[in-house]
Structure formats: C-alpha cells, structure tokens
Amino acid sequence: MAPLGGAPRLVLLFSGKRKSGKDFVTEALQSRLGGNICAVLRLSGPLKEQYAREHGLDFQRLLDASTYKEAYRRDMICWGEEKRCADPGFFCRKIVEGVSQPIWLVSDTRRVSDIQWFQEAYGPVTQTVRVVASEQSRQQRGWVFTPGVDDAESECGLDNFGNFDWVIENHGDEQSLEDQLENLLEFIRATL
C-alpha cells in the first residue's frame, strides 16, 4: 500500500487513557521541535469532522475539551467503530494526506488496527509511545469514569498491546516528565 502523505523520517504513535496527557506531551514535543519539522496528527480530527457533517453538528466545538463534545462522545465512538469495521485504515489515510514534515506525532492512537496500518504503511520508522497517568492524576485533570466510553475499545483497545517502544509516565511530577521528554527528544533529533 502506498502511503498518501510524504515519506516521514519518524512516526510516533501516542496512546493512553483519557486525561493521561497525550495532547500535552505531543504539543510539548512539537513546540520544541518546531512546526516545520514536526506535525501533530489526530485520528479523531477526520472522525469528528465527518461525524459533525453527517449529524449537523459544530465541528469546532467537537474538537475542544467541552461538555458539547462529551455529550456526543458515546455516539461518536459507535459511529467511528462502524466506519472502522468497514475500512480499518479510513481515518489513518485521512490524517496523512499532504503532511510534509519529517516527524509525525499521532496524538490519539487507540486501536491495534491503527498501529498495524502505520507499521504496514511506514515500516521501521514507526514507534509506539504509551502515556500513562494514575487514576488520581487523571481525576485531578477532570477525568470521571463514564460507562460506554472508558470501558469501550476506544479507551481500552491497547491496554494489552504488549511492548510499547516508549512509555511516558505523566503522574504530575514535572521534573520527571521533563526528563522523559528530553530522552524522547534526543531520539527524535537523532533521526533528522
């Protein structure tokens, strides 16, 4: 299968539970590397855009961490699962279209099929990164267990994935997080 985007030097697939800090980590990495070198790609972007279009909703409001998004989250998950069942690579192909930066940070990898798609499309330049945070840390960031969301494949699909290439512990210790980000940045810079 020929990739639709440019040829990346490195693809980092970030996963983790809600409020673990995936977006925080990927945005911190991008700010240090620069937007001309590093792109943050969100699998949820094309999902939310298509869902909003088909359901007459405000796409921009679905992108932020709002109660608006939360009101539609469960239905959006079901709708996205239907799309993935019909075509497991649908959302993966959408996010790489036209990306020219050499470093790709996929901020919201949620399923084994997402990882498999990137590994098949981009091979050895693909690495997995798991962002973990304690329940207490996640609760301090506003996480509340929601049935049908936190026990769905979109949250649990990679719980038993196995060996991630990188694990970032984001329990609230700023210095520890900074040290881990520096290690990952060293690795990323070595690929350039």
- Average pLDDT per block of 10 residues along the chain, 192 residues long: 66 96 96 95 86 89 79 85 85 90 95 93 96 95 88 86 94 95 96 90
Residue 30 lies in a domain: yes
Query: Which residue positions form the known binding site?
Result: 17-23, 141, 170-171, 180
Domain span at residue 157 reads: 10-191
62 is written with which tokens?
A: 């679905």
Q: In the chain, which ranges are E strands?
A: 10-15, 38-41, 103-106, 126-132, 166-169
pLDDT, position 6: 61
Residue 183 located in a structural domain: yes
The per-residue pLDDT for 65 is: 66
Contact 33, 188 (CB under 8 A): yes
Other CB atoms within 10 Å distance of the CB of residue 127: 19
Tell me what pLDDT residue 1 has. Answer: 41
pLDDT at 7: 86
**44-55 and 67-86 helices cross at what angle (nearest 10)?**
100
Question: Annotated binding residues for ATP, as ranges?
Answer: 17-23, 141, 171, 180
Specify which residues 38 forms β-bridges with. 103
Known binding-site residue numbers for substrate: 170
> Considering the domain boundaries, does residue 2 fall inside one?
no
pLDDT of residue 3: 46
Q: What count of other Cβ atoms lies within 10 Å of the Cβ of residue 109?
A: 26
Residue 1 lies in a domain: no
CATH number at residue 90: 3.40.50.300
Kindly report the three-state secondary structure assignment for every residue of 41-71. ECCHHHHHHHHHHHHCCCHHHHHCCCHHHHH
Which residues 6+ apart lie within 8 Å of 117 measured at CB? 88, 89, 92
Residue 3 lies in a domain: no
The answer to the question of residue 5 being in a domain is no
What is the pLDDT, as a whole number, of residue 79? 87
Structurally, how many domains does the chain consist of?
1
169 forms beta bridges with 132
Residue 97 lies in a domain: yes
Q: Which residues, other chains included, contact 19 with Cβ-Cβ below 8 Å and sequence gap of 6+?
A: 133, 137, 138, 139, 141, 142, 143
Which residues, 6+ apart, have CB-to-CB distance to 67 below 8 Å?
Answer: none
Q: In whole angstroms, what is the distance from residue 123 CA to residue 102 CA?
A: 15
